[in-house]
Amino acid sequence: MTAAEKQTLAAFLDTASDYLRDCRARDRPPFPFTDDLMRGGAPPLGRTPLLRKGMLRPTPPSGGEPPATPPGPLPPEVTGPLHDAAAAVEGCRACGLARTRTRSVPGEGIVPPLVLVVGEAPGAEEDASGRPFVGPAGCLLDDMLAAIGLSRLRNCFIANVVKCRPPNNRLPTQDETAACLPFLCRQIAALRPRVILAAGRVAAHNLLGIEETMGRLRGTLYPYRLPPAFAGGAPSTEIPLIATYHPSALLRDPGLKRPAFDDLKFLMAHLASLDPVYRAEAQPLINKYAAKDSRLAPLAE
């Protein structure tokens, strides 16, 4: 794809996303796309920046209103283990949250993703829409991702540890996270993200099994290993994991924005070392930040 084609598609997807969220168009600086790198005549690298591919549909409400999208046969790209996990979430009654939820929120985004962002649990807007991170914290998360050239419409998948809203946005209990964690493991096994970004302590604690403050957890690249039961018999490969503050924490305490931005640049440096397509597309942003952050070496043109 050419840079101009990508820009047109991105503008369309951004508009669609704004419309789905709250019908309010947002101003976004143009993303510095580049033409796809061609390798020996082969098509560009595997990730497919199409909205439809792997984009999970919002789940229908349990009882009450029918879903906005009429049910119909699922296209082949949303069947398979990821879709099975979403269907299992929808039918789950393993904890009390099933009685109070409006919709379950399995997650959405690009498959396979460069980055899997894992949050805590749905809030009111997510419970109503069946989509993750669509309220105020979600707007901030989208802005945070955009600052380093990431987006749920281009290269990320967004999910939560707990798939149903805890009443009044209370913290999920240990029983609730324990009941829900297998769904996240199934998603990770199906998605095979290159990197996991744990947003907030609930995500970091449950994925890493380390009970620490975010102040201590951040700034380190952890190896995440799927539990063997989810690795399909294969030796489980390590997925790099970076932890940062939850966007809701940044909304409560704007003083955390600076360290969170440092974490994002840390993630950016790691992604740039892993993925040449990301590195090429994010190069102008990397060069911009490199002046103030030695982890981000400016790239030669």
User: Among 97, 121, 188, 197, which residue sits at the site for ligand URA (rule: CB under 6 A)?
Assistant: 121
Give the CB-side neighbour count of residue 111, counting CA atoms within 13 A.
20
- Collapse the DSSP code of 224 into the 3-class scheme (helix H, G, I; strand E, B; otherwise coil) and give the result: strand
Contact pick of 113, 130, 132, 149 for ligand URA (by CB under 6 A): 132
Radius of gyration (C-alpha) of the chain in whole angstroms: 19
User: Can you tell me which of 133, 183, 245, 278 binds ligand URA, judged by CB under 6 A?
Assistant: 133
Q: Does 116 bind ligand URA (CB under 6 A)?
A: no
- Dihedral over alpha carbons 124, 128, 132, 137 (to 10 degrees): -30
Is residue 141 within 8 Å of 117, Cβ to Cβ?
yes
Alpha-carbon span 256 to 246, nearest angstrom: 10
Task: Identify any residues that bridge with 156 across adjacent strands, giving them in sequence order.
Answer: 115
CB 177 within 8 A of CB 161: yes
When the beta carbons of 82 and 117 are compared against ligand URA, the nearer one is 117
Residues 236-265: x/- map of binding to ligand URA (CB under 6 A)?
Answer: ------------x-----------------
Looking at residue 110, its amino acid is I
Binding region for ligand URA (CB under 6 A) out of 16-24, 30-38, 133-141, 268-276: 133-141
**3-state DSSP assignment of residue 285:** helix
Task: Choose between 10 and 198: whose C-beta lies nearer to ligand URA.
Answer: 198
Considering beta carbons, is residue 202 or 269 the nearer one to ligand URA?
Answer: 202
Asked if residue 172 binds ligand URA (CB under 6 A), the reply is no
Based on the shown chain and the rule CB under 6 A, indicate whether residue 120 belongs to the binding site for ligand URA: yes
- Tell me: does residue 283 bind ligand URA (CB under 6 A): no
Crossing angle (nearest 10°) for helices 136-146 and 3-22: 170
Residue count at the site for ligand URA (CB under 6 A)?
Answer: 13
Please report how close the Cβ of residue 66 comes to ligand URA at its closest, in angstroms: 23
